[in-house]
Amino acid sequence: MATQSGNTPSVAFIGLGRMGLPMAKNLVAAGFEVIGYDRSEAACASFADAGGKTAGSAREAAAGAGVVITMLPTSAIVASCLVGEEDALAEAAPGALVIDMSSSVPADTLKLAEKLSARGMSLVDAPVSGGVSKAIDGTLAIMVGGEDIERARPVLEAMGDRIFPAGKLGAGHVVKVLNNYVSAAGALAAAEALIVGRDFGLDEAVITDILNASTGRNNTTENKVKRFMLSGAFNSGFDLSLMAKDIGIAAGLAEGLGLKMQLLAQTAEAWQAAENDLQQGADHTEIYRHVDAGAHRG
């Protein structure tokens, strides 16, 4: 994890959720002056306990900040927070750098950049991968789009150990949703394979071990099946609704490019159906329960 010395810009961190809170804490540990904001008082209190400063609003957090980071559920919320109703950037430092680390719609990212440019500010998109555990230990993979990557790098290196310049503005958000599509498709395949094998009379744990020693292994079989699915814990820390949202963005991107991607469309449909069937706030590993119920329905 990078450690700062000398004069560094103050950082506003808006969105202290499951991922954002440990990321902001790592910025503090790296020596940045960070002012955090979240609508959750408990999240703000936890950040303050880690040595961070907190604000009563997004605008207050960003006042005078040279770097403003957003880690929010959707690009619509990002835009509303920064340049919309809340107008968090109204009092940010001249020429401030905005780093959107949310999983956002690429087209919305480009629209936001235009609004920031009119204010003399710049934007990079820098979504992350690795989950809560890697957010905590500062080893996230961060995919970055835009022209100010080097300006953002010192801040990003405090939160991740693999920084990938992905290309032009919006590229980070594109790669992020494509990554989650591949992950989600693998999770569906793993769930279906386990259920077919189980109903044939096999031990799902044994199936998992064989997959992980063979070419069928993927992130779900290696890191999620036994820990979160077969255990019944379903508490990986990433909501199913967010996964469904990201795959929907990927499907929309393909459609906007005039591409017919059958598996992508089917995967998006399957995850949307799971979101509709399961309770609000369901963990994404509960896709296993959804597939199991659907396989035996009717």
**249-281 pLDDT, tens digit each:** 999 999 999 999 999 999 999 999 999 999 999
Angstrom distance (rounded) from CA 207 to CA 186: 15
| CATH 1.10.1040.10 boundaries in the chain | 175-295
- CATH topology classification for 175-295: N-(1-d-carboxylethyl)-l-norvaline Dehydrogenase; domain 2 (1.10.1040)
pLDDT over 70 (residue 65): yes
Percent of the chain at pLDDT exceeding 70: 97
pLDDT over 70 (residue 4): no
With a CB cutoff of 8 Å and minimum separation 6, the contacts of 90 are 59
Name the active-site residue from 25, 53, 134, 176.
176
| CATH 3.40.50.720 boundaries in the chain | 11-169
Q: What is the mean pLDDT of residues 227-241?
A: 96
CATH 3.40.50.720 fits 11-169, yes or no: yes
Query: What string of DSSP letters covers 70-135?
Result: E--S-HHHHHHHHTSSS-GGGGSPTTPEEEE-S---HHHHHHHHHHHHHTT-EEEE--EESHHHHH
pLDDT, position 282? 97
Cβ–Cβ contacts within 10 Å for residue 41, how many? 9
Q: What is the mean pLDDT of residues 30-39?
A: 96
pLDDT over 90 (residue 3): no
**Three-class DSSP category at 178:** helix
Angle of helix 204-212 relative to helix 171-200, nearest 10 degrees? 130
176: annotated active-site residue: yes
Q: Confidence class of residue 297 from pLDDT cuts 50, 70 and 90?
A: confident
pTM across the whole model: 0.93
Q: Confidence class of residue 5 from pLDDT cuts 50, 70 and 90?
A: very low
CA distances from residue 177 to 2, 107, 113 in whole angstroms, order as listed: 27, 13, 19
Q: What is the mean pLDDT of residues 135-158?
A: 97
Q: Confidence class of residue 298 from pLDDT cuts 50, 70 and 90?
A: low
